[in-house]
Structures are given as structure tokens and as C-alpha cells.
Structure 1
Amino acid sequence: MKAFIAVLPLVLRYAEAIPRPQSQSERYSSEVTASVTATSASAPPTSTPSTTAQNPCAAISQIYAQANTSITNIRVPAQLAYDCLNDVPLDSASAVPWLNTLKPYIEWQSTIAYLKNPPKGYLEPAVDVWGGLQAIIDRVSNGKYANEYQLEFDIYRLFQSTHDGHFRYLPSLAGGVFAFGRPISLVSYSVDGTEAPKPYVYSDVLSYFVNGSAVPSPVRSIDGQNAVAYLENWAQYGSLQDPDALYNNVFYELGQASLGASGSGAGTFAGGGRGAYIFPGNTTTLGFENGTSATFSNFARLLVPFRNITNGTVLYNTWINPYATRTSGAGGNVAAATNSSTPTSSTTVVSSSTRTATGTPRPGYPSPVISQRNNYVGGWYLTEAGYEDVAVLGVQSFVGTTDFQSVVYDFLDQASRAGKTKLVIDVSANGGGTILQGYNLFKNLFPAILPYGATRFRHHETFDIIGETVSERIYYYPYNYTNPPNPVWQDFAGGTPFNYRADVDVNYENFDSWRDKDPPNTIYGDQFTSIIRWNLSDPTNTPANGVQVNGYGNRTGLPPTQPFKPENIVILYDGYCASTCAIFSEMMTQQGGIKTISIGGRPNQGPMQTVGGVKGTNNYPWTFIYQLVSDTYELAPDQAGYFNSTSLYDYINPATYEIPYLRAVANSGQVNVRDGIRQGDTSQTPLQFVYEAANCRLYYTAEMTVDVTSMWEKVVDVAWGGDKCVQGSVGASGKAGNAKREEMEARSNERMKKRMLEMTLDKAAALEESLGLFTDVSGIEVQHGMMLP
């Protein structure tokens, strides 16, 4: 016990030993050891230059040269990294040409008109994307930027401010050189499940569960500001479109931790997900309700080697702009940055995974009945008395192929045979994945229902020309995908809309022509295609997506029966659900009639949305758009002269086509190309702008931050046991009598006691180790139905 307490000292206990903030002269040579948890596994390793260097980039280069560790473990003071970024001079000559190369790809973004003037009920501010881009161009032209970092951060923020996780562009300097972080993680919970939640230091919570003493004190202030107000403002740096979902993403959550480096790590406050791109200040000072305070030194992780980087100019010439004139001390033409991307073919990527072993740790989770190796999906049975008839299907991602399908199918079949009659589907942390996986899971649960899944694209010149050309030149459909008459035909099947013979219309019937598919229709001041639905019988879907939906092709008849009654299914959300998860959720709630429960959110008493991530149903990486344009030229070489006189040439112009990729972090250029449209909505409002409150809202409690089973049991209590929700109700839970509610309150109290008794040193150590998680976007398998953290 004592060994663990040494690893997790309470912040409260060390309140008098607060390191003072560094002065300007001290900060470059200071160690990153100010955190009171510096001895913990989550604290950054220390690296200190032997002498104080005048130039911040040179100081980091010295740290890099002296570090006896891999680059992934090198961390420097956050202020030092921030000063280095701001030492990079503005390359105004290349800025405007670069910004102009972004315009063709922005044309594909389906929600431009709605973002500028959001419909009633949308909770985020309006964003004029075109106006914002032009404002940046004007500021560059008028000399309003002091350095390159200010420009690149504005570009990133323009995309991020749309709160569309599919609309993403991350310039190299803004996000490819350093990743900021704090050596402290927070959680938010209610003390009794009824009172408004408050933020706590997670290491304090773990210590409390280990030793049972010193009840954690809530965080009252952060850097002198009200803690909740600070965190709500910080949350706005995230990618989600719902304030409650954004607020949850600030904190450590077990669902995100279960995804390892492909999740949001220990929360955006600690530097996970989008938090890595925001300078958090040199230090962070927390004030607690018990009157104590503590100050922590923030840090930055190195993402590129800093060998021989003597100043910001050399950094720019080495890692940021391969088109820049090389006049720095680095000498010569330095090779293009490894964090850059060049246009290549990008189709739906599938994972090679196994369901026989768990390769990624799942701290805070019990052993699963069955699991996919990367923890994208798994199944559990609840074992406590009163919960024995409950199965839990955890779907933290829709990335995967037949392996994913097999885990889901086998678990639902086994659970049904084992006498489990109730099903909790937990989609916490689910940012989407392979689109047809969402369709397939719905078909597993409702084999007799045809998924609706209405979508549409934004009409613009490039889209229309590609569609007209493809519809004319690919003269029969479907075809043998693995041996097509022309190899580029493959890129125009498997879910792309450009051959009118693919897909079906709103009535699940074939289109008559390209113009039938793309009239276009004028809606909300913009132009769009007709409603498009996936043709699940299309044989080209499977080889392109790696998924054969149950009930079609070689999976006809699977599953034979519906495994659970609709009234015995409930879906649990933490608000992060996005993309393919949003597709699945729409089908389950609108066609299946399934009840929903959301958990967490801001400390208020109002409702909370289910899907807080992007509700767009398909994103195209810019590399894929480039490939589509290139394939169109190859498909119709006799039309090249005409194509060169149109917007198609903007994508393949040999003088400029590489710029948007070489100036950004790999895979960062993405747009949402398909809007999801609700069945029967004559206004065709994209689901991204349709507010959808959960039937029931819950708060996290302390035990739910260390053991996910506590959360699942609470969901069962409110869904079928008569327990109450914070807001809303599921079934008859809002009508239960006092005796029933007293029983549920007793269960909650017992859960807390049980989790404290069950907290072993090994369990606590695994949870603590997960506090060191950071998002590695470069290692994530990019899917056309996935929102990157």
C-alpha cells in the first residue's frame, strides 16, 4: 500500500510545496519537474540543457542532442516550445498561394451554407468559412501577422471552429512539431449522482480508492479563473458540435483510455486529442475548495527531430515548407518533412485484427467474454445479483472488417443462448469507422428492417464533371470489381456516388441518369444532389469496404432472428459518438425505436444530446479527392483539354498540387462530403444541425471513473429498475415509487463501497499508467466514416 501511495501523492497533501512560476530568464533552462506528481508514471521525463540558450529553438535542439531516449519521450517546457514556434518568421510570399490551394477542397464541404447561418437549435456559433479564409488572406496581404505560427494557427482554428470532426486541416507548424500537454488529468463527477458534477484531480481520486482516506477536494479555480468556466472555454478547442460532449472530452474517461493512442488519451485538458495543439501556458495553477492550491509546469512533446535546429528559420526550412528558399544554416535542400503527405490513392482502409486476444490494455474494465484485439468492440455479461440477465456490447469504434463482424455476431448469439434478455450498447468514445459496419450492427439487431440512411452531396463544378464523366464512361454496372475492364473503375465504386447506376434513390429505386441523381436541388441557398441511399445489394461494396452486410451476398440469412426485443435494448452515450456511430444511432432510434441514455456533460440540470460528434455520414481525405480527379483524367484522356479549362485543373496543376499536402500534417486534410438526412424531413436539414436529446441523462459518479461496470449497472437501474435520471426518463423509470428509489439509492451506495474494496494496487497502477496516454493520429487507420481525435 505504501508503495502505491508514494506513486500517487495527493495534491492536497503537498499544497505548501508549490513551485513558483518561472521568470522570463529562468524558463528556458528549467526542468519540467514542477508537478507534485513528478514521481508518477504519468509525469514527463526531465530534460535540461546544460547552459541557457538565447534562441528557444536552439535550446530545444540542445535538449534533443543530450537526450538519452527516443524522440517520443523527449519533453520540453511548454513556454520554450511556444517561443520556438513564434520564432519562425512569416513566409508571406508563399502564404497566399498556399491558402488558394485550399479552396478547391473546401468546395466539397457539404455544410458551408448551414455553418454560416445555423438553423435554430444548433448550439455552436456560426462560422463563415469562405469569409474566414478571405480574412486570413487579407491579413497576410496587409502584413498583419507577426510570424508564421500566428498564420498557421489561424488556419487550423478556422477549420476547427466549425466543430465538424470531418472538416479538418492541420498545418505543419501548428500541429506537427510539438504536442502540448499538462502533467495532470482531471475527471468530472457528481458525489451522489444527483448534485451537479465538479472537476477533480484524477490522481487524488485513485489515491482515495486505494487508501480510503482524504476525500478529494474539487477543483475550484484554474489559473485564477472559475474552474468550470475555464473548462467550458477550453472545451471549445475540441472538434465536437455539442457543448456537453465537448465538456466530457476535456476529462479522462475509461472509454477513451481503452482505445490507447487512437483515442483522446487522458482528455484534452491533459493534452490528448485536440488539446495537443493548444498552448496551455507555462504553468497551470489549480485552486481547491479546501483552500489549498498547487502549480504544475506544462510541457511539449517533440514530434520531429531537432537535430541542428539553430533558430526558427532553420526549423521552417527543415520541417515546414519544402518550397521555401533554403538560406538557413541547415544548408542545401533539406528533404521534405516526414510529417507531410503527398497525394496518393486513398480508399477505405481495413484493419488486420483478431478476436482471440486483447492487444491494448483496458484499464477499469472487467475481463470480456469476447473482444477484438484493438478494443474496438467487445462483449461482457454483468454478474452482480440482480443484473445476471444483462449483456453489454461495448462499441468504442466501428473500424474493422469481418473480424469486427464476427465478434459482434458471435457475442449476440452467445448472449441470447445464455439467457441474457437485456442488452446495453455502450458507444462511449466512438468516433466512427467503416460506414457499412454501422449498417451491419443495425442489421444484427433488426434483421427484418431495411436501413434508411439517407444522404446527399453538395453540388459544385468538380463534383458534377466527375459524375457526368464517370456515368458516361463506365457504361455497365455492376462489374467484376477485382478484374474491371479499366483499373480506375475501382475508385468509382464501393460507395462513391459518381456512377448514377450505383446507389439508390429515396425510395430505394435506381436512378435514371446522372442528372436524376444530381439535378441539382437548391436548398438553404446552396445546391445539392438528390437523396442517395446505399444499395446494400451492390457487389462492389464488399471489396471496397471489407464488409458484407448481414442479409446480403454471402451473409444471406444472418442473423436468422432478432436477438433482443427493442424494449430490452438501451444505448449509452458519452456524447463523443460521431460519423458511423451517428449513422448507427440514427437507425437504432428512428427505425428501431431504441431508448437512449447520455452521461456526463456540463454541471447543469438540462438535457444532453446523444450524438455530440459530427453527424455527417462520409468524409473524404483530400488525397482521395485528388485521386478521383486524376482518375477522371485517366478515364477520359480525350477530354483533358476541356478538363484543364475547368476547376479540375486546380487539383492537378503541377505547379501547386502538392502544396496543401506538404504544408500539413499527414492525413489532416479532410472534408465532410455527405449530409445525413432524417427520414420524412422535407426541409432536408443536415443531422449535424438537428438537436437530439437523450431519453435520459445521468451524471458520472466517482466509482464510474475507476470501474466501467458501475456505469453499466446504473444504466440498467434507470432503464429497467425504476431508478431516476438527472433529466428525462427511460420507460417507466420516472414513475417509480419512493420505496423503489430508495432501493436504487442503496444499490448506488453499495457500488461505491464495492469498488473501493475491489481496488487493488495492480488495478490502480494500470489506471495510473493510462494517464500517460497521448493521441497518435499518424497511427490511426483513416476511414471514410471516422472522426479523428
Structure 2
Amino acid sequence: MIRNTITGLLTLASVANAAVLPKSTPENTNSGAVSRNSTSFSIGACALIARAEESAFAADQNFGDPNYPEFHIDPQIADDCLQSVLLEKKPALEFIQELSKFLQFQTTLAYLASPPAGSGRQPLDILKQLRDISRRVEEGSLTKWYQVEQEITTLLSQANDDHLSIEMPLQNLIKFKKGIALVSLSPDGKQIPKIYQAYLKKDSIDVSSSAITKFNNEDIVTFVEKSMSLGPFQGRDARYNKAFAAMNPYYPGEFWWLLKYPGTNNFTITFENGTIAQHNYSAWATAKPKEKVWSKLKTGQDIWNNYVNVNHTLDPFNREGTTSKPNLKDPVDKSKLVKHKSISNGVPEAAAYVEDNENIFRGYFLGDETGKGSNTAVMNLRSFGPFVPITIAGVREAVSQFLLEAEKRNSEKLIIDLRGNPGGLIALVFDTYKQLFPNGNAVFGSRIRSHPAFLKLVETFTKVFDKDLSVRKELSSSTGNTGKNSSQELYKDEIFWAAEGGLSQFFSLDRTGKPFASFEDFIGPVSNHGDKFTSVLTFAISDLVKLSQNIYKGYTVDGSGYGSLTEYDKKKQIFKPENIVVLTDSRCSSSCNSFVELLRTEQKVRSIVIGGRPTVDEPTKLVGGVRGPQSLQASELYPLVEFAEKTFPFKNSAEKEAWNKVMPHPFHLNIAGAAVNYRDMIRPTDPTQTPLEFVTDPADCKIFFEKDTLVNSHKLWAKVEALAWGNDNSCAWGSLKAGHTVAGNVSIVH
């Protein structure tokens, strides 16, 4: 989705979509359910689904309601319908060609094809395998569109990169589910955990009395790890954790879902006490309020014509709406940005001292929760993902009030809880970091892959900015070549994205935080690992803030320590780095990694990870998600291309042909979204310039979930407090006591 609001700070990194527990299940939904044997198979699988929609529509006036946007169908019928969708060569091949061009912006292509030693990765040549899929479509040996979808989705998933993804049409049309949730629990947090069936409630989780030993006669641990091998995280423990239900934030676990029909309608679970339970897989077809969409999708050919081979904007199920930007020119009452002493879902019995209205940040004082004389405070950051300035203002205000209260209470110790944090705005990372460390050095290195399309965009956007960092006058005050208002007004999002996205040297600094001496020093290309990249870049934050103020006027918010808040470094630092511990469940990604990188490399804070595979003889990555600081959505790239084409017309047909040969253009199929990892994160001091995606940085201490620490966050925080500053030495691996750790090839000494 095209970003329709800009914070006026820095970049939007992709945020993994948070999964919610489905409201409908086979047990509580009868309307429209249809089995393969309920009528003659000769009717056709897709027609049976249309018939189920007809029945459900007649029986339920709320059919297709946004809270229940699906109806239950037999999983084999669902698979038969999907398998009946045959592709047409020309549009299928054009799609693969455009996807190949878009994937040139993925920074890690060479590293995936030839992984660095010690990374634990198997070689994955994405572009080569994509060419093979194209060849088989061309030859006619690959004729089913569903198979193309499955192969492309599997190919990209093998990269285990949260930022690298594509939303294919059929995967959004019908979804398969196991419909059960699991948890992994240890009796004391140190002993090897076992897997239990979970029964999810609003604010709690009940578990089976007996542990699970097998899934369909296969060892349950082996099955879970294997089933999560295509998960989005690069860390094995992060992928393993993703299978299980969690609280704070609430998450039913990826085990609930299926990637595809497994070839049978049921499965068995064997418990430690010898009980064997049989369950049914389920399939769910997408529905739309007050409309019988499946009446137009009664055959595989119908689905191709009316659902797959259409632009996404013509998707019959498209529910995308619009959102408006809050006008920050109006006075903002800071008291309305936050709330106090509210109990939130997923944190039973724990009332936050302060939180923002979007539940992004919550601040606690452990003594309030345990009733004991603790001087430990807790920052619970569920994401860095508010997408409007008013929300960023709320998070900043909540953090500010929390730190002021911590100072009043003489709180000395701090736990930063980042469990399940998928990332978000890098702007909020810098803002939060500077509030914690007003004099802290908020710098980390990144780089962008150099390839023909990127270089052409850099060449174009270099013409947009003057050396004083403003937009060229002819673009900001005239119609340019668009014929509509000014190019700056019409394409303000694209202009700002170009600046924050490294398409101009003026808004990037070198690895030491200084301006590049020349364009050549900025763009390179620098050869590394058989590929080419820009030089190592750091964000010119203050300059980006100034640009956002110029472009967005009343919609911008300064960052702590930048813009109108440049005097922030005179503020008092409340917590010493040696008194801070960061907690993750390894499911920390994107901007969350950026925050952790600043905490660990700049401030040398200690770290603890919870959960993961049932092993005690090896460490667990503190950050198991994608470590690149910026993604690129296809919906962000296409407007950049459009801006370039309309603002700077081609001089001749040869120039246009050369441009179109390498430049991605919109997919002419119903592709809901696609994204790549646009920037690698590089440690400026690393002579090998290896992306952190391929570097192992273990947590200092590893523990496992217990029932109490899974359900009650304050009990988990109390355990972390005891491990870090008390007499508890029960890490399953490592130690949280003062000492040292080795983060990849960077030694961190406390």
C-alpha cells in the first residue's frame, strides 16, 4: 500500500503484519460450510464454493462483515478450485519479468547466492530460480497459476527475510488453517521446555495438562521447526518462537495457519500421556460485505479472468480505504496524547504508569506490579510503527513523562522489553534513543545495492535538490512537466522518500557522519562479495528534518535532538548503560534491530532472549529478524518512477527504451504488494562490510518461557531483574551478570 502519511522525520521500514486470532472456526460457523461429498463433484470445486457463499449469504445478514471476512469450506474442495486456475503465458511472463526487475533492489542477492562462512545459510540464487520458473512457463511445462504462486512464494520465503515478500492473489483468496495453537513451556525457565496445546482467552492462555510428543507420528519439535523453515526470520530460534502463542503483544502463533493444503483433511496429535487426538484442517474463502463475489468466480477460468489477471485496484475484494493526515498546525494538548494507569490486553494485572494512545509504548515501574521495593523501571515497546505525526508525538510524550517519573522515583535500573517488535519508523528509533541518551551517538551504517535502475533514479533525483538541500525552484514553484500544480506539491511523498532513500548524496553522510566529498565518493560503486554497492552511508537526520519541514509544513514533527529540539543534549540522562537490560524473544526486526544495534554497540547494554528451540548448549540470536534498516515497497517505488518519467521526459526513443529495460513498472496482475530489503545494515568499523543479516550476535543470557512468565509480563520482568541484579543465576545459556559478550566479530565489554 502506498504510504499515505509521512512523519516528516525519517524512513518507514516495513512492519510485519500482526496476526490476529480468527473469529470464525469450523466449530462456531455452520452457515455455508460445504464438504467435498455434499454434492456431485461434477459441479466443479469453484462452483461449490460459490454455492456455499450463496447459502451463507442467505443465512447471515452480517455475512462478509470486516470482522468475519471469510466462510468455511472443505479444504480439498478449496485446493481443487485453486489447482483449476490455468495461467495465460503473456501476462504471466510479463509479471515475472517485472518482478525480476523489482528484485534488483534486494540488497542481499549476492550474499544469499553465496552465503558467508559461518552464517548457517544454504545458497539461494533467487534471480536464477526465477528465470527457471519463467522458462518453464514459456515452454508450457508450468501451466497452473497456483503452482507459479507457490513456487515464487516459496522461493522468496527461503531467504528468511522479513522485508522480502510478495502478496499473491490466490493466497489472499483462500487460506488454510490447522486451527490449533501451541505454547513451549519450561518448568523453571532453565530446563528444556515441552510443547503444549494452548487454549487462548482474552487476557490469558490455558494449556493442556499433558505435553505433546508427536504431530502425525513425527516428533513435535522436529515438525514445528521444519514447518517454520520458510518463516520470515533469519534466526532459527526466532522462527521457532513464531510458531507459538504469545502475550504482550497478543499473538496466536504461526502454527495456527497452513501455507497450502497438505493433501489430507485431518491430522493427529499425540500427548505424553498416550492420548491421541484427531483434528481437522480447514479452509476459508474470502468474503465481501453484502456482495456475492464468488458468483463471478465459479470456475478456474473465472478466477483467472476476474481476479488474477486484473490490476490490484480492480480486485473485487479490495477493501483499501483512505486516511487523512492530522493537521499539526493546530495546538496539540499533550495530556490527550497519552493515558495513565490503564490495563491493556495481553498484560494481565499490570497497569502501565503511562502509555501512548496507540499502545506502541508503555512505561511501568516494577514495584507497582510486584508490591516489593523495586527501583526497576520497564519500557515496553511493541513496535516503532506509528505512521502519522500525531502518533509519534504521543509516543514521544509518553516516553518523556515516563523518564520524568523515573527521575522523581530515583529509579536506577531499566528493562527495555522488545518482544515481538516488528520494527517501523526509523525516526522513532532515533527519537527514543536520544531521549534515553541525550548525548548518545545515534549513528549506524547502511548501504544500497548498485544496479542500473538504482543508478538511473539517483541520476534523476540528483536534479531535484539544490546544494542548499532545498527542492529546485522550478520544481517547487511551477507546474514542471506534470501540468498539475507544482511537482513538489504533487509528488511531496516521492521527493521526501528519494531524500531518505539515499537517492541524493545531500541527505546521506559517510560512515564517520560527515558529508561526502564528492558524488563519486557517495555512489561508488564499491565492489564487495561479487556485487556492487554504494559507500557505507549514515542518515543526515537534521537535514531530513529540515526538508520535511519545507515539504510538509504543518504535518511534520521534529525528532528529539533534531530540528527545533536540537538543545535536547542538555537534558539529563536518567539511566546509566550498565543499569539497562534489553529483552527480546528474538522476533525483533528492521527498525527494532536498529534500536538494539545502538543500544549494544554504542551503549554496551546487556541483553536477554526468551524462548527459542529447546537447546541449552548453544546461544540464541538477540535479533532473529531482518537486520536491514529500510524496506522498499513496490507501491513506493512506482510513484518514484512515475515522478521521474513525468518531470524529466525522455529525450528520444533510445533513452526511453534503455530506461524501460531496467526500470520496474506496476504488475498488471492482482498483486496486493511486494517488498525488498532496500538497505543493508553495516557496522562502520567492520572491514569486511558484511551485512548484519549474516552476522551472529548472541544474547548474553537465554531463558525459556514458564506459564507465569508467558501470561504475566510483570513476572517475566521480575525474573529478568533477578537475573541481572539479584541472586538468580538460572540462565539456560550464558549469564546476565556483569562480564562480557561477543557480538559477531565485535567484542562488547560491559
Determine the C-alpha separation between the residues in 2 that align with 1:558 and 1:53. Answer: 72
Show structure 1 runs of 5+ residues with no match. Answer: 1-37, 258-264, 325-333, 735-789
Name 1:331's counterpart in structure 2.
none
* Deviation, structure 1 residue 106: 0.7
Determine the C-alpha separation between the residues in 2 that align with 1:481 and 1:294. Answer: 69
Name 1:147's counterpart in structure 2.
144
What letter corresponds to residue 513 of structure 1 in structure 2? S
Name 1:771's counterpart in structure 2.
none
Name 1:46's counterpart in structure 2.
30
Q: How does 1:178-327 map to 2 (within 5 A)?
A: 178-203=174-199, 216-257=209-250, 265-271=251-257, 275=258, 281-304=264-287, 305-322=293-310
What letter corresponds to residue 202 of structure 1 in structure 2? A
* Deviation, structure 1 residue 226: 0.7
SS in 2 for 1:203: strand
* Deviation, structure 1 residue 437: 0.8
Q: CA RMSD in A?
A: 3.4
Q: How does 1:134-173 map to 2 (within 5 A)?
A: 134-145=131-142, 147-173=144-170
Name 1:781's counterpart in structure 2.
none
Name 1:66's counterpart in structure 2.
55
CA distance 1:208–1:341, change in 2 (3 Å): closer
CA distance 1:592–1:138, change in 2 (3 Å): same
SS in 2 for 1:180: strand
Q: Of 327, 345, 358, which residue of structure 2 is paired with 1:374?
A: 358
Write the deviation string for residues 117-151 of structure 1: whole angstroms up to 9, x where unpaired: 11123234321111110121122233333522111
What letter corresponds to residue 310 of structure 2 in structure 1? P
Count the aligned residue pairs. Answer: 665
Q: Compute the TM-score of the two structures, normalised by the length of structure 2.
A: 0.82
Determine the C-alpha separation between the residues in 2 that align with 1:532 and 1:172. Answer: 37
Q: How does 1:509-588 map to 2 (within 5 A)?
A: 509-538=514-543, 539-541=546-548, 546-558=556-568, 560-588=571-599
Name 1:690's counterpart in structure 2.
695
For the 8 Å contact 1:180–1:279, the answer to whether it is kept is no
SS in 2 for 1:195: coil
For the 8 Å contact 1:85–1:149, the answer to whether it is kept is yes
SS in 2 for 1:159: helix
What letter corresponds to residue 422 of structure 1 in structure 2? K
For the 8 Å contact 2:522–2:534, the answer to whether it is kept is yes
Determine the C-alpha separation between the residues in 1 that align with 2:324 and 2:685. Answer: 34
Name 1:361's counterpart in structure 2.
345
CA distance 1:453–1:567, change in 2 (3 Å): same
Name 2:421's counterpart in structure 1.
430
Q: Compute the TM-score of the two structures, normalised by the length of structure 1.
A: 0.78
Determine the C-alpha separation between the residues in 2 that align with 1:42 and 1:407. Answer: 42
CA distance 1:359–1:391, change in 2 (3 Å): closer
For the 8 Å contact 1:456–1:675, the answer to whether it is kept is yes
What letter corresponds to residue 128 of structure 1 in structure 2? D
Name 2:385's counterpart in structure 1.
399
Determine the C-alpha separation between the residues in 2 that align with 1:208 and 1:111. Answer: 40
Write the deviation string for residues 280-301 of structure 1: whole angstroms up to 9, x where unpaired: 9522311001000111112223
Q: How does 1:336-485 map to 2 (within 5 A)?
A: 336-339=315-318, 354-356=337-339, 361-362=345-346, 364=348, 366-383=350-367, 384-386=370-372, 388-400=374-386, 401-479=392-470, 484-485=476-477
Q: Of 734, 739, 747, which residue of structure 2 is paired with 1:728?
A: 734
What letter corresponds to residue 106 of structure 2 in structure 1? Q
* 1:91 correspondence with 2:84: no
* Deviation, structure 1 residue 167: 1.0
CA distance 1:540–1:408, change in 2 (3 Å): same
For the 8 Å contact 1:101–1:650, the answer to whether it is kept is no
Determine the C-alpha separation between the residues in 1 that align with 2:594 and 2:349. Answer: 26
Q: Of 653, 670, 677, which residue of structure 2 is paired with 1:663?
A: 670
CA distance 1:733–1:346, change in 2 (3 Å): same
CA distance 1:238–1:491, change in 2 (3 Å): same
Q: How does 1:1-150 map to 2 (within 5 A)?
A: 43-47=27-31, 48-49=33-34, 51-54=38-41, 55-67=44-56, 68=60, 69-71=62-64, 72-145=69-142, 147-150=144-147
Write the deviation string for residues 140-196 of structure 1: whole angstroms up to 9, x where unpaired: 2333335221111111111111111111112111x2102222221100011222221
CA distance 1:204–1:528, change in 2 (3 Å): closer
* Deviation, structure 1 residue 439: 1.3
What letter corresponds to residue 57 of structure 1 in structure 2? C
* 1:491 correspondence with 2:494: yes
Name 2:483's counterpart in structure 1.
none
Determine the C-alpha separation between the residues in 2 that align with 1:284 and 1:365. Answer: 37
SS in 2 for 1:229: helix
SS in 2 for 1:604: coil
CA distance 1:43–1:190, change in 2 (3 Å): farther
Determine the C-alpha separation between the residues in 1 that align with 2:381 and 2:453. Answer: 37
What letter corresponds to residue 382 of structure 1 in structure 2? L
Determine the C-alpha separation between the residues in 2 that align with 1:519 and 1:90. Answer: 42
SS in 2 for 1:428: coil
For the 8 Å contact 2:197–2:208, the answer to whether it is kept is no
Deviates more, 1:583-592 or 1:176-185: 176-185
Greater percentage in strand = 2
Deviates more, 1:703-712 or 1:638-647: 638-647
For the 8 Å contact 1:379–1:391, the answer to whether it is kept is yes
* 1:701 correspondence with 2:741: no
CA distance 1:412–1:625, change in 2 (3 Å): same
Q: Of 626, 629, 640, which residue of structure 2 is paired with 1:628?
A: 640
CA distance 1:465–1:227, change in 2 (3 Å): same
